[in-house]
Amino acid sequence: MEGMSMKLVTLGLSLLALYAIQKYIELRRVIKSVQYPSHPGKITLLAQDSLLSNILPRIPGISMGGNATWEGRYQRRSHRERVAAYAEVGWDVVANISVLPSQVTLSLADAAAIKEVTTARFRFPKPVWQYKTLSFFGDNIVVSEAEEWKRHRKVAAPAFSDKNNKLVWDETLRIMFDLFDNVWGSQELISVEHALSLTLPITLYVLSAAAFGQRISWKDDGTVPTNHQLSFKDAIVEVSNNCVTKIIVPSWAMGFNAHTRKVRLAFDELENHILDMISSQRYAEKKAEKHDLFSSLLDANTEDPTFTDRDLMGDIFIFLVAGHETTAHTLCFTFALLALYPEQQELLFQHIQTYEDMSLLTYSMAVFNETLRMFPPVNNIPKYSAEDTSITTTNAAGEKRVLPIPQRTIVILNTVGVHYNPRYWKDPEEFRPGRFLEPDWPRDAFIPFSPRACIGRKFSETEGIAVLTSLVQRYKIEVLEEPQFASESFGERKARVLTTKPALTLKPVRVPLVFKRR
């Protein structure tokens, strides 16, 4: 028996040694493929794009950390005195190599290289397998690529029309005036512990009206229709707030506690509400002309027999997620920046007083764009190489280098890196909306909505500008004064108010504000 145990131990050690040798050989091959260490990068145990690496904090040699892209922005952060990888190495393309699995992930903060990757779609397609967790209700425009993406895009594009943009503008103003008149009323001063508690319902109500044709007011009683357990409002709020739970928790474990059961119910109820809406509108005897996204998608759906109800459900859901949380977070950051920079807020107020038409609200658009530059919703946009190829990168001294890219290499477009790259943006840590009014601002270095034209970009911009102009016209925004922070410097206050954490999109942790009637 003892001899048998020794043999098993020896066999186990031998297998472990063979595995270690195999991983070492694979790692050497990967290192050689990208000319490391002659081209800079880091070696970690876990891949930069792995789920575990995104969950863990930054552990040198083990994990890049879920917030690594944001915390390691291009420039030195004055309150942390930390220099990001790009500034350290002098190049705007960094090769991050992992052991498990043995692969290289190229991270790009070079605007020209990013443009090369995004224009060569066949060489650098989207890694659709990374997006499959967003197929809750069916395939959609985000989780598809190539011909399938074109099919979804063809059906969805007519929905994002000028008529829909007009609906977005009108509904946003209706919701904002409802807030001012029926919620805030005659109050001269309104304090909020976190501005996200304001921006999330605003964007949700706009989305409900302009995307689903379902108007929700601030004092909606949330009546539950027959054959439902949740109202449309409650279902959509729960789904919007708990997408991460749905992504992380497997379906078989969704009934293990009260929270996951509530999330499961919300997803089921939202699906049933949408199916009811499809049935009601499709078989209505007299169809009224509507310009909400849902109605337009449904009309386009009837013209393409290959586009199923599951495809329709999938696209509706993804527009819900993208249109709600993304715009809410951006508006929250915008309010925070305007409170921190009162001189910029005053410039915006004076501009709003002069113009009313959205097409003329150039400074409002500049404020919105500058917020998106500083706080892009998505920090990384993944691609991969479909073949053995290469890209050209340039350093700050103007030296060029052709970098080989083996097939199946993950290529990350580092939104944060290029948005804070001082080669393109002067004083990138400073909030300066005016830079977007200059005729030669660096368009190739601005990718908050992904370089491939985001179909919902105009929807988000229209909503954002309507919220911003209506609020700043009536109220002055300031940071809430709290006794425990009375002695902090401007830098400390800025760091505190603009603290972020990774979520489905970049999320503000806590933005305490005061809105004072003008």
Binding-site annotation, residues:
454
Annotated binding site for heme: 454
Picking from 498, 512, 509, the residue whose alpha carbon sits closest to that of residue 374 is 498
Contact 274, 130 (CB under 8 A): no
81: left (phi over 0), alpha (psi -120 to 50) or beta: left
**Exposure string (b/e) for 469-498, b if CB count within 10 Å is 16 or more?**
bbbbeebbbbbbeeeeeeeeeeeeebebbb
Alpha carbon distance 176, 206 (integer Å) = 10
Alpha carbon distance 327, 206 (integer Å) = 11
Contact 180, 188 (CB under 8 A): no
Question: Would you state the structure tokens that stand for residue 252, as one six-digit string?
Answer: 């078989």
33: left (phi over 0), alpha (psi -120 to 50) or beta: alpha
Neighbour count for residue 64 (Cβ, 10 Å): 27
Tokens 């601002």 belong to which residue?
Answer: 441
Picking from 441, 419, 436, the residue whose alpha carbon sits closest to that of residue 428 is 419
Picking from 153, 159, 127, the residue whose alpha carbon sits closest to that of residue 140 is 153
Alpha carbon distance 270, 261 (integer Å) = 14
Q: Which residues pair with 96 in a beta bridge?
A: 42, 105
Tokens 């209706």 belong to which residue?
Answer: 174
